[in-house]
């Protein structure tokens, strides 16, 4: 039973054994999870759309097996692609604002010290940490490029200047499609580097701690 | 021994977990979420349609291309069923519906009407595109001639192969929307939709009906809105 004395003792113990703070800021973890899910939806539905193309892949070149796809057919792929694009892009937007407002880019993303560590450093762990930061920083321009080229393919009449940036329609499509191997390669490199740098503790800090 | 094997972060257990999560996620994604694709569509298509209606600048032409940019081999013939046999001597384009002056025009009358030529990009929902020259009568000339009643907001397009489409009026009246009878400098071939097909740079290819025989102006859409739209493709389909 909760007598006044036992509650006081419990409160004292609580303040002594404070839970350890997570390595990651809560907004970063939210962004990370929403990005994983929405990017997966974009990738799988995007490949569903790609599969329908009779000129560049799909019905003509590499045909992707249905296991990797989302939507079932072209219309279904488009439904998911143009639904998930809202989650994906708005998530990227608020996170960008958050990074700028908190100035996270000064210490949480790749910086001059990482480049110096790679060039002149002697500590191998510091070098691997530098690679880790380089890799997870580079996903941001990759995602933004996928968004930009996607917008050009979605509305080429209203945003013709986007198509112009790449020269023609074919170049635009190739760059948009290139985000597939880039993102997959990134996901593999990022997972392995995170494990190498900080082991399960680092991975848990981003994925699971204080999230469940 | 087991501890050594599992102490390195990149160990079999972690790789199996990573693979398991990835494959599990894709299994859920691929099969379970595919079943929900029409829900995903219904959830966001009204929003996407609103956005593209706002993006359309109803009287602003989109940039065109020089004749040297034409890609004749890129324009795939994507006929979904059969190519109809049209007797050009008996052909009449009917413009009717909620209009004060319904029309029944043969090709010689259509070719005396104002003619426009444009070099634009045709974009198919399958993801391919082609720069093509179209020549024909601006659709707004025909609509104005038919004198639509106030309240008309849409147009239905019926084709000789029973393909059907419906458009918003604003896109019909866009300066680059036409019924074309010329392609890449020569009379429109039958497989590309002769005698008349819709051509415009502001809508996806499946909205650009071939073998158009009837244009019906209405104030309300019917439940059926287009061959592909009735199979859950987008109705506005603006580029």
Q: What is the ipTM of this complex?
A: 0.89
User: Residue B121: helix, strand or coil by DSSP?
Assistant: strand
Q: Which residues of chain A have a CB within 8 Å of the CB of B47?
A: 86
Q: Please report the pLDDT score of residue B6 as a whole number.
A: 53
Tell whether B51 lies on the interface with A, counting CB pairs under 8 A: no
Predicted confidence (pLDDT) per residue in A176-194, tens digit: 999 999 999 999 999 999 9
- Mark whether A53 and A84 lie in a shared domain: yes
- Mark whether A113 and A212 lie in a shared domain: yes
Place A8 in a pLDDT band, splitting at 50, 70 and 90: low
| Cα A168 from Cα A96, distance rounded (Å) | 29
**Roughly what angle, to the nearest 10 degrees, separates helices A124-154 and A74-102?**
130
**Distances in Å between the alpha carbon of B218 and those of A75, B45, B96, B112?**
27, 23, 9, 26
Share of chain A above pLDDT 90, in %: 75
Q: B interface mutation test: which of A36, A70, A154, A180 has the most B CBs within 10 A?
A: A70
Q: Please report the pLDDT score of residue B7 as a whole number.
A: 61
Is the pLDDT at A19 greater than 90? The verdict is no
Token couple for A28: 């970063």
Cα B155–Cα B156–Cα B162 angle in degrees, nearest 5: 165
Rg from Cα positions in chain B: 24
* Burial class of residue A197 in the structure, from the number of CB atoms within 10 Å of its CB (0-12 exposed, 13-18 middle, 19+ buried): middle
Q: Please report the pLDDT score of residue B31 as a whole number.
A: 80
- Mark whether A209 and A117 lie in a shared domain: yes
Task: Match 């005698």 to its residue by tokens.
Answer: B195
β-strand pairing of B164-168 with B178-183: unpaired
* Shortest CA gap B35–chain A (Å): 7
Is the pLDDT at A61 greater than 90? The verdict is no
The answer as to whether A40 is a domain residue is yes
The answer as to whether A39 is a domain residue is yes
The answer as to whether A1 is a domain residue is no
| Total-model pTM | 0.89
- Mark whether A142 and A87 lie in a shared domain: no
Domain of A49 in residue numbering reads as 22-107
Q: Please report the pLDDT score of residue B205 as a whole number.
A: 97
Nearest residue of chain A to residue B7 (CA atoms)? A199
Asked whether the bond before B195 is cis by omega within 30 degrees of 0, the reply is yes
- Mark whether A129 and A180 lie in a shared domain: yes
| Cα A148 from Cα A128, distance rounded (Å) | 31
- Mark whether A124 and A196 lie in a shared domain: yes
- Mark whether A146 and A82 lie in a shared domain: no
Task: Match 């609509």 to its residue by tokens.
Answer: B143
Token couple for A44: 């799988």
Q: Is the CA virtual torsion A84, A182, A173, B205 positive or negative?
A: negative
Q: What share of chain A is helix, strand, coil (3-state, %, to 5)?
A: 75, 0, 25
Q: Which residues of chain A have a CB within 8 Å of the CB of B30?
A: 44, 66-70
Ordered DSSP codes for A134-183: HHHHHHHHHHHHHHHHHHHHH-TTT-HHHHHHHSSHHHHHHHHHHHHHHH
Q: Averaged over A60-73, what is the pLDDT?
A: 89
Q: Please report the pLDDT score of residue B21 as a whole number.
A: 81
- Mark whether A67 and A134 lie in a shared domain: no
The string over A152-188, giving b where at least 16 C-beta atoms fall within 10 Å of a residue's C-beta and e elsewhere, is: bbbbbbbbbebbeebeebeebbebbbebbebbeebbe
Q: Averaged over A17-44, what is the pLDDT?
A: 88
- Mark whether A102 and A113 lie in a shared domain: no
| Cα A188 from Cα A176, distance rounded (Å) | 20
Place A143 in a pLDDT band, splitting at 50, 70 and 90: very high
The residue with greater pLDDT, B20 or B114, is B114
Share of chain B above pLDDT 70, in %: 96
Nearest to A195 among B10, B25, B33 (CB): B10
User: Residue B224: helix, strand or coil by DSSP?
Assistant: coil
Is the pLDDT at A93 greater than 80? The verdict is yes
- Mark whether A71 and A134 lie in a shared domain: no
- Mark whether A73 and A139 lie in a shared domain: no
- Mark whether A93 and A189 lie in a shared domain: no
The answer as to whether A14 is a domain residue is no
Q: Which residues of chain A have a CB within 8 Å of the CB of B55?
A: 155, 158
Q: Which residues of chain B have a CB within 8 Å of the CB of A153?
A: 127
Tell whether B126 lies on the interface with A, counting CB pairs under 8 A: yes
Predicted confidence (pLDDT) per residue in B39-63, tens digit: 999 899 999 999 999 999 999 999 9
Is the pLDDT at B230 greater than 70? The verdict is yes
Indicate the residue among A88, A107, A126 that finishes a domain: A107
Candidate ranges A10-24, A65-79, B119-133; pick with highest mean pLDDT: B119-133
Q: Number of Cβ pairs closer than 8 Å across A and B? A: 122
Predicted confidence (pLDDT) per residue in B155-204, tens digit: 999 999 999 999 999 999 999 999 999 999 999 999 999 999 999 999 99
Q: Per the structure, how many domains does chain A have? A: 2
Query: Within 13 A of B127's CA, how many CA atoms are on the CB side?
Result: 27
Indicate the residue among A85, A107, A129 that finishes a domain: A107
Nearest to A44 among B26, B63, B234 (CB): B26
Ordered DSSP codes for A24-63: S-HHHHHHHHHHHHHHHHHHHHHHHHHTT-SSSSTTSSPP
Indicate the residue among A107, A133, A152 that finishes a domain: A107
User: Residue B52: helix, strand or coil by DSSP?
Assistant: helix
Nearest residue of chain B to residue A59 (CA atoms)? B126
Q: Averaged over A105-120, what is the pLDDT?
A: 91
């Amino acid at each position: 039973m909760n007598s006044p004395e036992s509650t006081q003792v419990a409160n004292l113990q609580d303040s002594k054994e404070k839970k350890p703070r997570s390595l990651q800021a809560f907004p970063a973890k939210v962004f990370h999870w929403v990005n994983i899910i929405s990017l997966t939806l974009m990738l799988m539905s995007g490949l569903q759309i790609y599969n329908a193309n009779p000129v560049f892949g799909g019905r003509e070149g590499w045909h992707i097996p249905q296991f990797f796809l989302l939507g079932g057919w072209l219309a279904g792929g488009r439904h998911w692609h143009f639904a998930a694009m809202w989650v994906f892009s708005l998530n990227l937007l608020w996170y960008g604002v958050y990074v700028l407002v908190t100035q996270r880019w000064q210490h949480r993303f790749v910086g001059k010290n990482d480049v110096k560590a790679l060039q002149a450093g002697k500590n191998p762990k510091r070098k691997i940490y530098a690679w880790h930061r380089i890799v997870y920083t580079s996903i941001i321009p990759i995602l933004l490029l996928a968004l930009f080229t996607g917008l050009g393919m979605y509305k080429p009449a209203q945003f013709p200047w986007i198509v112009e940036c790449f020269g023609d329609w074919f170049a635009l499509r190739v760059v948009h499609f290139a985000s597939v191997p880039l993102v997959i390669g990134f996901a593999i490199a990022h997972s392995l580097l995170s494990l190498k740098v900080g082991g399960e503790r680092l991975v848990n800090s981003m994925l699971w701690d204080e999230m469940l | 021994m087991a501890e050594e094997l599992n102490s390195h972060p990149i160990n079999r257990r972690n790789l199996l977990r990573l693979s398991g999560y990835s494959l599990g996620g894709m299994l859920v994604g691929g099969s379970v979420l595919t079943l929900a694709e029409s829900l995903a569509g219904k959830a966001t298509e009204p929003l996407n349609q609103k956005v593209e209606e706002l993006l359309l600048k109803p009287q602003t032409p989109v940039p065109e291309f020089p004749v040297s940019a034409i890609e004749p081999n890129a324009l795939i013939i994507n006929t979904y069923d059969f190519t109809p046999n049209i007797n050009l001597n008996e052909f009449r384009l009917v413009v009717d519906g909620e209009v004060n002056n319904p029309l029944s025009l043969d090709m010689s009358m259509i070719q005396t009407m104002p003619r426009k030529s444009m070099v634009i990009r045709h974009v198919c929902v399958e993801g391919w595109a082609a720069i093509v020259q179209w020549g024909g009568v601006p659709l707004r000339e025909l609509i104005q001639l038919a004198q639509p009643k106030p309240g008309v907001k849409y147009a239905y397009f019926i084709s000789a192969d029973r393909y059907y489409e419906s458009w918003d009026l604003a896109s019909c009246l866009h300066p680059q929307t036409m019924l074309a009878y010329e392609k890449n400098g020569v009379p429109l071939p039958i497989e590309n939709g002769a005698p008349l097909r819709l051509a415009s740079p502001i809508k996806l290819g499946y909205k650009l009906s071939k073998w158009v025989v009837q244009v019906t102006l209405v104030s309300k859409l019917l439940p059926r809105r287009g061959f592909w739209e009735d199979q859950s493709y987008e109705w506005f389909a603006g580029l």
